[in-house]
Amino acid sequence: MRDSTADTLLMGLWTDETGAVTVDWVVLSAAALGVGLSAALTVGRGTATLGNRINASIPSVDLQSLGYSFLSLTDAQQAFVLGNLERRTDLQVAETALNMTTSFLAHMAAGDLESAAADIDRRHLNQTVLDQRGLDAAAGSLTVAEMQDLYAAAGGE
């Protein structure tokens, strides 16, 4: 037989829906909801922060070169070229594509496949910066794919 004051008190809470008891249930429910929302917000912020830290730790050259195999430039040269391109204005970056095309065609005409390969690598990095900024290359510029096709047709690998 249960004859405790605690049982009587709990039964009163369950059966009495008036006054302060109702307010207590509302306050408890609001507190539980607040804790849940706070936990969800904290997890969301932590996930975003972690994602930002991961992105910051990966060099931009590595991210942009996925799917492209550099023909000539070393990692240090790639970083140097990319850094120079990123410091240029939008117009300069777009015009650089045309300058790189001119250089590539001159090297191809001279049979200098080694320099032409470096031109393709530089043009790829140029296109990376153009894509990041949502820009198009200057009119008359060859695409990286077009340069690669001409290079391969001339015997480049």
The string of DSSP letters for the chain reads ----HHHHHHHHHHH--SHHHHHHHHHHHHHHHHHHHHHHHHHHHHHHHHHHHHHHHS-HHHHHTTT---SS--HHHHHHHHHHHHTS-HHHHHHHHHHHHHHHHHHHHTT-HHHHHHHHHHHHHHHHHHHHHT--PPTTPPPHHHHHHHHHHTT--
Residue 78 is predicted with a pLDDT of: 92
Q: Which two tokens stand for residue 36?
A: 């849940």
Encode pLDDT of 101-140 as tens digits: 999 999 999 999 999 999 999 999 999 999 999 999 999 9
Residue 11 is predicted with a pLDDT of: 66
d(CA 26, CA 29): 5
Q: Work out the percent of the chain whose per-residue pLDDT is above 70.
A: 69
Residue 69 is predicted with a pLDDT of: 85
Indicate whether 18 pLDDT > 70. Answer: no
Q: Which two tokens stand for residue 45?
A: 């912020």
Residue 6 is predicted with a pLDDT of: 65
Encode pLDDT of 63-76 as tens digits: 444 568 889 999 99
51-55, 86-90, 123-127, 132-136: segment of lowest average pLDDT: 51-55
Q: Average of pLDDT values for 20-43?
A: 73
Residue 26 is predicted with a pLDDT of: 72
94 pLDDT tier (thresholds 50, 70, 90) = very high
Residue 45 is predicted with a pLDDT of: 74
Residues 6+ apart with CB under 8 A from 123: 97, 100, 101, 104, 142, 144, 147
pLDDT top residue among 13 and 157: 157
Domain ranges of the chain: 5-57, 60-153
d(CA 112, CA 18): 92
d(CA 60, CA 79): 9
Q: Which two tokens stand for residue 16?
A: 């009495």
Indicate whether 58 pLDDT > 60. Answer: no
Indicate whether 61 pLDDT > 60. Answer: no
